[in-house]
Structure 1
Amino acid sequence: MKVAVLGTGYVGLSTGVCLAEIGHEVVCIDVDKRKIDTLKQGKSPIYEPGLEELLVHNSSEGRLAFTTSHQQGLSEAEIIIIAVGTPQSDDGQADLSFLEQAAKDLAGHIVRDCIVVIKSTVPVGTNEYVKQLLLGQLKNNCEIKLVSNPEFLRQGSAIQDTLKADRIIIGSDDEGASEKIQEMYRPLDVPLLLTDVRSAEMIKYASNAFLATKISFINGIANLCEAVGADVEDVAKGMGCDKRIGAAFLKAGIGYGGSCFPKDVKALLHTSRKQGIPFSLLEETIAINDHQQELLVGKALKRFGELKGKKIAMLGLSFKPETDDMREAPSIKIAQSLTAAGARVAAYDPVAASNAREIIGDVITYADSAMEAAKDADALFIVTEWEEFKQLNVAALLDVMKQRIIFDGRNCLDEVLLQASGRIEYYPVGRPAVI
């Protein structure tokens, strides 16, 4: 099939590359010329394991192309996938301005009957709105059918999540359009769930809100465990063994971040308020997460009394490992709180330092290694659970620190190894401290 993808962010680029990998002819379109020039050179503008290799392979095979020209990219497309961002507005609802612009761009360049697939995360009713927008501005006499096909990709595993998805949601009120999209995905051999359009739109928000709630729940339990002397790791294991609950997303820590959970929970809450439906569970999910992102700073203040003049080494900046994505990363709030309290912060992240500098700025320093960040530090914060940090030579790290104090926001260090390294203060989340 001939497929055009609008947007080359995490979702659009991963989708385009993977569709090419299963045999389709794909053109990715983006208005950012610098990004398209980078892609034409076989380089990915985002860090995503496995992405660049597939990009180069499918480009060389002639199945994948990149352009800034809508006219060129849409000229032969049977299926057009919209994968532009829908960021959060000030009031919590989804900002549809990029989607609206994409629809206007499409309307002026569609020259044949086609199916427009909205993969962007959008509020219920958006597909109908976009269809009317398209039909009202079409320059050529073409038949347009819309399909809702929400994405469920995780940064750091987007390729795997596409090629071996748990399910693919196809929301359509047109049987022919639904069958065409089923055919496009058939080579993946993954479960397909067919729904009406509005249910498909709701599935994405409901899924992310539930997972975010699960994270906030276990973080609330973690805080209670610290108060009563229980171990949240054991509690989570015991809960996860129950098939009705499952072990996924029961990892206590300093809260969720990223491009999806924060904005999707708030967008769903905005929708519920707009409809007059109380949903206090979502309000509490957000409140717990906001509190959790301040957890390490609170523990450090309790330990030191004040942080003015203290050097804090911060390991991890991205919101999760295996990505350079800084959107809503807990590190942002932590860095701001530490510097506001007068601390000096030296941070290290394997891939996200450049993006972090654009958001956090130069109020903190950026180290080239964990060892460099830890040198002469009064305390060490672990903010992102990169595998590199789990494999650290903790004894060597502690030897270069001014004070041997660690606040582990992801419970990723081995307490046995820590205790074997000599005198140490170790403060995990939801577990007894080692002092």
Structure 2
Amino acid sequence: MLVERDRDLTVYYDQQRADSLWATFFEALPGGKRGIKLGPSVKIAALELRGETPVEVFHRSSNLRGSIRKNVTISPLLAVSVSGQRISGSGYIGAWEREAPIPEAMEFSMGRPNYFFREKPVPGTESPHDRVIYMGFPHSSWGHFITEGLARCWYALENPDIPVVWCGKSFKPWHREVLEIIGLANPEIILNQPTFFKEVIFPYPGLSIGDYCIPEYLGILGSFPQSDMIEGKKVFLSRSGVVDGGDEVLSVGGDSRLDAIATAHGFEVIRPQELSVREQLHELSSAEHVLSIEGSALHTPILLSGTPKTRFWALARHRGGAGIYDHIKTSKGLKYETLNMLNGKTRGFREKIDFNVDLFEELMISTKGFTQNLEFAESHRLDPSTPQTSFENQIVNCQVRSSGHRAREIRAHVGALEGDRNAVLTNLATTL
């Protein structure tokens, strides 16, 4: 473990992980003591594996900017979970300016890239559109779509005549409803094969999970009118019926007990997945109090115009990417508190939620359903991670190449996904 200190922070370099170098930043306190952790750990890529940052950069403002690339080939995203002893990610992307990988095509969260870059450019069919806007991957889950999937939409909303390029095929009715709500009506290209474009605009995302959220971006995205608040209305956003990657909630009693407790204390139980997007936004903005376990439903307020008067109460679930809630709270000006009702330490985002239902019920009784004696909630407050970084910092450090056994593993996996038997056999033979 290497440690470097300067006046403002301490950096711990973790060299225990194979083929990786990770930096974790902490506040430096007097006497050489370590303070709070400043954001997520960041994977440091070797210089020779990084991409070249763009030369042609445009600025809408000091916070919203993007790049322009010429002679670009974009390959459809291979969206698949990649998890093994040495590699993990959410699939493979391909975007090249001539022969060079384009770092700003990457999507990041919690201080690291979400995907691997494909190794080599592939021949692309030339598009009839000379100039397009890169939108990235739309995502199939609600929370990831309205955060990461829409993160580049600000430029398209202000330039409705320029076609947008999506690197994903599956658009559900609620995807379309969201795009209609925010007013995105650009001509649309959904990639199904590698495609060559003479010019591609890469808007830098206005939001990155766990990393940052730009208030100006939320001001552009949030367009749905708020409903008049109904005095005394309280809404509980239930996770009952939701099965999400194995974290389908409570170890004892289940969601049905939470629903019953909330109902007994004056909350209307709502299952967001059963409502249209417009109905969800109406329920949120018309309520005086909204209570929910942390999750996608608490990303939804970013679609509302202005600053909602609603008071939001979040029940902590896990700390992976938890910074996004505080980033949205700050950027949107929300009245938003996170409460810790968990047994022991917070767990990983794929684990069961070890929730203390009895403690939750005690708090509901003490506060009369979050309407009085709120000092009882104070001792359970949990402040999410607040530091923010920037997309520029991410692309400077973005790994676009791999070497050695990792490169061979990636080539073999991509070959298997695309039915290239020769690529699988050749690369597995040198990996095993």
TM-score range, shorter chain: 0.3 to 0.5
Q: Give 1 or 2: higher helix fraction.
A: 1
Q: Give 1 or 2: higher strand fraction.
A: 2
TM-score, normalization by structure 1: 0.32
